[in-house]
Amino acid sequence: MDQLFESLSRSKFRSSFKLRNAEVLYFRTKGIDLILSHGEDFIRTRLAPGFIANDGKQTPYHGHPFFVAQHATACCCRSCLQKWHSIPIGHQLSKSETAYIISVVKRWLLTQLS
């Protein structure tokens, strides 16, 4: 995962994402476990299907810490998952793929608060 984060840091677009004050406050108030629980729901409904009609537009840029982290880590749509994480489009995400996405997003979120 270190290599992934090194690559993400070299992307002007990916490295531009930071949590806003409201998102930091939400994160600190709710805690990592609840944020990741919401994230699992977001993944199940927005990323997990094999075909997504609005792929590339299903994840908001702000409003929840998990959304910001998804964009920062290229876990925001199936096209980005394929390009950055080699998770192919066209199949339902597996439990291991979902767990991987959660772990990537969690790492980014925790770095934002340190």
Q: What is the pTM of this model?
A: 0.94
Q: How many separate domains does the chain show? A: 1
Q: Is residue 56 part of a domain?
A: no
23 neighbors 68 (Cβ within 8 angstroms): yes
What is residue 29's predicted lDDT score, i.e. its pLDDT? Answer: 95
Tell me: the pLDDT tens digits for 51-107? 888 888 989 999 999 999 999 999 999 999 999 999 999 999 999 999 999 999 999
- Helices assigned H by DSSP within 1-114: 2-10, 21-30, 32-42, 65-72, 78-85, 95-112
| Residue 58 in domain | no
Asked whether residue 20 is assigned to any structural domain, the reply reads: yes
> What integer pLDDT is reported at residue 53 of this predicted model?
85
For residues 21 and 24, what is the distance between their CA atoms, to the nearest angstrom?
Answer: 5
Is 55 a domain residue? no
Q: Is the pLDDT of residue 113 over 90?
A: no
Question: Is 57 a member of any domain?
Answer: no
Domain contains 45:
yes
Is the Cβ–Cβ distance between 73 and 8 less than 8 Å? yes
User: What local confidence, expressed as pLDDT, does residue 96 receive?
Assistant: 97
Domain contains 14: yes
**pLDDT in the model for residue 100:** 98
User: Could you read off the pLDDT of 1-26 as tens digits, one per residue?
Assistant: 999 999 999 999 999 999 999 999 99
Residues, the chain, total?
114
Return the pLDDT at 54. 87
pLDDT (average), residues 20-39: 95
- For residue 90, give its domain range: 2-50+63-112
